[in-house]
Structure 1
Amino acid sequence: MTFESVLAERKAELATKWAELVLKTYPTETQKVWTKQKDRFQNPVGAAIIEATGELFDQLIEWQDAEVIAKSLDKLIRIRAVQDFTPSQALSFVFLLKKLLRDEFFKAMKKDGTLDNLLRFEAKIDNLAMMSFDIYAKSRDEVFRFRVDEVKRAQSSLLRKAGMIVDVTTETSVD
């Protein structure tokens, strides 16, 4: 039996544990709300985290389509990119999966001589981390661009209201 098939058998349990670890990276009050409230409409962020970790766990086991993996990663990273996390905190969820798998399997696999299977699977997680850095950088760039655009719009609106800018859209023709 391969390590991936062992993970597949326990994927619901392990994906849930991973989501719980991710949710624990938030402040205590936020954790309470997001772990207790299961309604997708009353808890969209918590639901998105649970959904994304489940998708990613499945995709890591198979690792067939990097674009599909990137889309699932993007869902989770976009949430974390707009929050008050440092880049390392925002992307820590990837490494939390590594910690989870080591907690669950390391001792037994070391004992039975199959630890190399865990280490091989961790290479997939490392690839996931590298993809995450790229997606995070792109997401942060978008957030900063939106903020700059919003400041420009607000400044332009204030200047227009103060009469310091006049919209001129007249056409001149030359005969």
Structure 2
Amino acid sequence: MNLVQKMSERKEDLAAKWYDIVLSSYPVETQKIWKANNDRFTNPVGITIKKVTSELLDLILEWKNADAIAQSLDELVKIRTVQEFAPSKALSFVFLFKKLMRDEFMEELKKEGKLDELLAFEARIDNLGLIAFDIYTKNRDLIAQMRIEEVKRSHHMLLRRVNKIEDASAKGAGQV
């Protein structure tokens, strides 16, 4: 049995462990709340993380549809982008998945003389990291642009108020 088949057999377990890895980057109290609450309306972030880790695992195992992988990855990366994580921490979940694969399969594959399968699979994870980085930078750029636009709007509104005050002062001064 090859690595992908072994992973497919243990998909639910691996997805749960990856979910735990992602959650471990949050405070302990947040982890407890997100793990205990399965309502997508009161726990949208926790449920999205759980859904995406499971979905991504399926897509990584198939490794056929880059658009689907990017779309699924985008959901999780967006969350981590707006949470103001440092880039390395925001994307660490991708590379920690590689560690998970090593912890779960390295010894077994070493005994079977199939470490090349693990290395080949790790290349998928590295590519996933590159896709995640592209998504992260796109989202950070979008957030920066939104902040710039908000400052421009605020500045424009402030100037409009100042001009109204000046107009009112000028009118009031002329009627004295």
TM over 0.5: yes
1:118 aligns with 2:118: yes
What letter corresponds to residue 155 of structure 1 in structure 2?
Answer: H
Matched residue SS, 1:147: helix
Deviations 1:85-142 (A, max 9, x none): 1111010010111111111111121122112111111110011011111111101000
Task: Give the whole-Å Cα distance in 2 for the aligned partners of 1:115 and 1:165.
Answer: 74
Q: Quote the residue 2:157 is aligned against.
A: 157
Q: Quote the residue 2:81 is aligned against.
A: 81
Q: Which has the larger radius of gyration?
A: 2
Q: Quote the residue 2:15 is aligned against.
A: 15
Task: Give the whole-Å Cα distance in 2 for the aligned partners of 1:20 and 1:41.
Answer: 21
Shift of 1:12: 1.2
Change (3 A) 1:155 1:122: same
Task: Give the whole-Å Cα distance in 2 for the aligned partners of 1:123 and 1:164.
Answer: 62
Q: Quote the residue 1:43 is aligned against.
A: 43
Task: Give the whole-Å Cα distance in 1 for the aligned partners of 2:24 and 2:135.
Answer: 22
Q: How does 1:1-175 map to 2 (within 5 A)?
A: 1-163=1-163
Identity of aligned residues (%): 54
Task: Give the whole-Å Cα distance in 1 for the aligned partners of 2:76 and 2:30.
Answer: 16
Q: Quote the residue 1:172 is aligned against.
A: none
Give the number of aligned pairs.
166
Instruction: Point out the structure with the larger helix share.
Output: 2
Matched residue SS, 1:25: coil
Shift of 1:165: 9.4
Task: Give the whole-Å Cα distance in 1 for the aligned partners of 2:48 and 2:21.
Answer: 14
TM-score by length of 1: 0.89
The Cα RMSD (Å) is 1.6
What letter corresponds to residue 125 of structure 2 in structure 1?
Answer: I
What letter corresponds to residue 77 of structure 1 in structure 2?
Answer: V
What letter corresponds to residue 143 of structure 1 in structure 2?
Answer: I
What letter corresponds to residue 87 of structure 2 in structure 1?
Answer: P
Task: Give the whole-Å Cα distance in 2 for the aligned partners of 1:104 and 1:165.
Answer: 69
Matched residue SS, 2:141: helix
Task: Give the whole-Å Cα distance in 2 for the aligned partners of 1:154 and 1:26.
Answer: 33
TM-score by length of 2: 0.89
